[in-house]
Amino acid sequence: MYLIAFAWRAHPRYRLVLVANRDEFHSRPTLPLAPWEDAPDVIGGRDAVHGGGWLALRGGRLAAVTNVRRLPQREGRSRGGLVADFVRGDAAVSPVVDALAVEADAYPPFNLLLHDGDALAFASNHPAFDARALPPGVHGISNGALDAPWPKTAALMARVDAWLGAPTAMCAVADVSPLFEALADTALAPDDRLPDTGVGLERERFLSPAFIAHPVYGTRASTVVLIADDHAEIVERRFGPDAAPLGETRERIALRRSIPGR
């Protein structure tokens, strides 16, 4: 399960501000945020089982993926491969989305965010393939539809929106601590506001916080990404069972403006 909120062309300095939590079984092998060994210009965490990623950057090029919470889950190709393939490539968003429309059913249900340096697009294959360029503003994706009013999605979007207007967001080194505080929210949502995704009320409750602290399954990584015209920053905080801190990594990438696909 995953949670993403992002502001697109809504800040005077950063064209993209993205915050995300990755929830997973603590036993699943995972590599921390770092340059990828087989693609050193790609930076992100990595699934050590299939080799894909949930959120990765190459320069100002970014991809992030969530699953869609629906039972029964169909099998298929690894969703993390969508992230890895995009950030390693050079094609603009539009032809990538066009190609994905042909093969989207080969993957389990996904939500995908793609940024090629200029355009930002959303794509999903559930309940049917849908892709669109995103308008400026604050958006959110969890394990349902884009901008679905799930409590944790709406709350994180509101916190991102508030950060955009904070004076510390304009500092030479932006203060991202309020964004990490938002990602660390462990509050359960009221039952009457929970979605019904077919997993039962008890599990809906368990999955309702932005941050899930549990000995077996929970939030493994919290990430903040800031992309400006001349640089990108990515910060990852990692957690073990019961939210035990496992470290933080920060990377800054100098950018050269270029035309996607050239």
**Looking at residue 259, what is its pLDDT?**
43
Token reading at 246: 């496992």
Q: Where are the domains of the chain?
A: 2-254
In angstroms, the CA 3 to CA 27 distance is: 20
**Residue whose entry in the numeric block shows the structure tokens 């403006």:** 257
Question: Model confidence over 123-140: pLDDT tens digits?
Answer: 999 999 999 999 999 999
Rounded Cα distance, 40 and 30, in Å = 17
Kindly give, in sequence order, each residue whose CB lies less than 8 Å from that of residue 48, ignoring residues fewer than 6 positions away: 28, 29, 30, 31
Nearest to 208 by CA among 232, 228, 192: 192
Degrees (nearest 5) of the Cα angle 189, 65, 243?
50
Q: Which two tokens stand for residue 142?
A: 């969890």
Quick count: other Cβ atoms within 10 Å of Cβ 149? 12
The band of 170, judged by pLDDT with boundaries at 50, 70 and 90, is confident
Do the beta carbons of residue 186 and residue 213 sit within 8 Å? Answer: yes
- The CATH superfamily assigned to 2-254 is Penicillin V Acylase; Chain A (3.60.60.10)
- Identify the CA nearest to 224 among candidates 160, 170, 166: 160
The yes-or-no verdict on residue 72 having pLDDT over 70 is: no
How does residue 257 score in pLDDT terms, banded at 50, 70 and 90?
Answer: low
Better pLDDT: 83 or 167: 83
Whole-prediction pTM: 0.95
222 closest CA partner among 251, 163, 182, 252: 182
Q: What confidence tens digit (pLDDT) does each residue in 91-127 have?
A: 999 999 999 999 999 999 999 999 999 999 999 999 9
**Distance (Å, whole) CA 220 – CA 32:** 10
